[in-house]
């Protein structure tokens, strides 16, 4: 099974209480692909500039990620500057230099047409809709977005939401999108906008999945929300990419399974938490570059024990 992801491949400059890094490899598609590649094959569509080196690309290809869909354009790569100094659970954006990302027009290589799973990472909803329409045969579409698109591009975002099987957003985004302050009410309103399943990430507190009655995984057997924990860590070095790594673990595991059952979906929520917890242990993508399947499975076991009632 293959996942096609479209999104940012970037350089990030980040400050956290643990220190500072400058222009390290990042981007939503990068974190997603590195996390998902532990479970299934991943193809990336994005754009980078002349500052993106073969060594940067090797970080992805060393983990088996197909980078043929990453376009190389004249100019500089997308550069995001953020700080977690005030609040480790929420990034404060200090700068967004779009650079080559400003004129990004996703082009899907012919060889990617047989991808079964599509992940629309956080980019302009117009581009998300375009990629979705060019991949009519996918089995499942999962997407992400952020406050910027909810605030200023809502009409375009609403069009994409109609196309999604699963939407993955955080607490604040769910409340902002729905105009509700109560999570359950917010979730129900968001699912009325299109997604059949809504996964709300709560940062260090885990994630909750909400299912609407059009849900495609054993509709009648899944109606109550399902909450998966996050692993309490004694040290969060850099939260950047936690959400995208969650998405990669979640979707990568789903795509690796022969059938989508409620039990598989619940495990996928745990694998999301596992990958998010690894991502934050080091700056940038460093931890995801060396992770092994044994480490992932051992941590999955920890997550099971954390929430087991016996």
Least gap, CB of 292 to ligand AMP (angstroms): 22
**Which tokens hold the place of 107?**
């082009």
Least gap, CB of 219 to ligand AMP (angstroms): 30
Whose Cβ is closer to ligand AMP: residue 173's or residue 222's?
A: 173
Whose Cβ is closer to ligand AMP: residue 194's or residue 276's?
A: 276
Least gap, CB of 246 to ligand AMP (angstroms): 8
Least gap, CB of 223 to ligand AMP (angstroms): 29
Segment near ligand AMP (CB under 6 A), from 6-14, 39-47, 288-296, 301-309?
A: 6-14
Segment near ligand AMP (CB under 6 A), from 15-23, 36-44, 234-242, 259-267?
A: 234-242
Give the residue, chosen from 40, 244, 255, 265, that forms a contact with ligand AMP under the rule CB under 6 A: 244
DSSP element (H, E) containing 266: helix 262-279
- E strand segments, 113-248: 117-120, 140-144, 166-170, 197-201, 207-211, 226-228
Distance, in Å, from the CA atom of 47 to the CA atom of 178, rounded to the nearest integer, reads 31
- Cβ atoms of residues 83 and 238 within 8 Å: no
Buried b (16+ CB within 10 A) or exposed e, 120-134: bbbbbbebbbbbbee
28: contact with ligand AMP by CB under 6 A: yes
Segment near ligand AMP (CB under 6 A), from 25-33, 35-43, 104-112, 186-194?
A: 25-33
Distance, in Å, from the CA atom of 6 to the CA atom of 4, rounded to the nearest integer, reads 7
96: contact with ligand AMP by CB under 6 A: yes
- Cβ atoms of residues 120 and 134 within 8 Å: no
Three-state SS for 144? strand
Give the residue, chosen from 60, 88, 123, 209, that forms a contact with ligand AMP under the rule CB under 6 A: 123
Give the residue, chosen from 242, 254, 268, 280, that forms a contact with ligand AMP under the rule CB under 6 A: 242
Give the residue, chosen from 56, 122, 145, 267, that forms a contact with ligand AMP under the rule CB under 6 A: 122
Q: In what order do the strands lie in the sheet with 41-48?
A: 70-72, 41-48, 2-6, 117-120, 140-144, 166-170, 197-201, 207-211, 226-228
Whose Cβ is closer to ligand AMP: residue 31's or residue 112's?
A: 31
Least gap, CB of 232 to ligand AMP (angstroms): 19
145: contact with ligand AMP by CB under 6 A: no
26: contact with ligand AMP by CB under 6 A: yes
* Cα distance from N-terminal residue to C-terminal residue, the chain: 36
- Cβ atoms of residues 303 and 270 within 8 Å: yes
Distance, in Å, from the CA atom of 226 to the CA atom of 136, rounded to the nearest integer, reads 30
Binding site for ligand AMP (CB under 6 A): 8, 10, 12, 26-28, 31, 80, 96, 122-123, 148, 240-244
């Amino acid at each position: 099974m293959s996942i096609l992801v479209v999104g940012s491949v970037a350089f990030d400059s980040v400050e956290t209480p643990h220190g500072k890094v400058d222009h390290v490899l990042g981007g939503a598609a990068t974190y997603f692909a590195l996390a998902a590649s532990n479970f299934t094959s991943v193809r990336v569509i994005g754009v980078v500039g002349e500052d993106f080196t073969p060594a940067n690309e090797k970080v992805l290809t060393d983990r088996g990620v197909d980078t043929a869909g990453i376009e190389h354009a004249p100019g500089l790569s997308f550069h995001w500057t953020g700080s977690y100094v005030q609040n480790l659970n929420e990034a404060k954006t200090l700068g967004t230099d779009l650079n080559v990302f400003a004129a990004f027009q996703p082009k899907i290589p012919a060889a990617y047409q047989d991808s079964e799973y599509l992940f629309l990472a956080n980019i302009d909803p117009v581009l998300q809709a375009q990629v979705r329409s060019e991949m009519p045969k996918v089995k499942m579409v999962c997407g992400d977005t952020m406050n910027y698109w909810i605030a200023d591009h809502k009409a375009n975002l609403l069009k994409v939401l109609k196309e999604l099987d699963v939407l993955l957003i955080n607490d604040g985004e769910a409340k902002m999108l729905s105009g509700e302050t109560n999570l359950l009410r917010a979730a129900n309103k968001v699912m009325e906008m299109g997604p059949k399943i809504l996964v709300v990430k709560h940062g260090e507190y885990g994630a909750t999945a909400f299912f609407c009655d059009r849900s495609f995984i054993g509709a009648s057997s899944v109606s109550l929300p399902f909450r998966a924990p996050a692993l309490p860590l004694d040290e969060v070095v850099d939260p950047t990419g936690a959400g995208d790594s969650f998405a990669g673990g979640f979707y990568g595991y789903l795509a690796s399974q022969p059938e989508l059952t409620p039990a598989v979906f619940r495990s996928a929520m745990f694998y999301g938490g596992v990958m998010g917890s690894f991502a934050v242990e080091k700056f940038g993508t460093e931890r995801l570059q060396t992770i092994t399947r044994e480490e992932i499975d051992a941590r999955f076991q920890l997550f099971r024990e954390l929430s087991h009632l016996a």
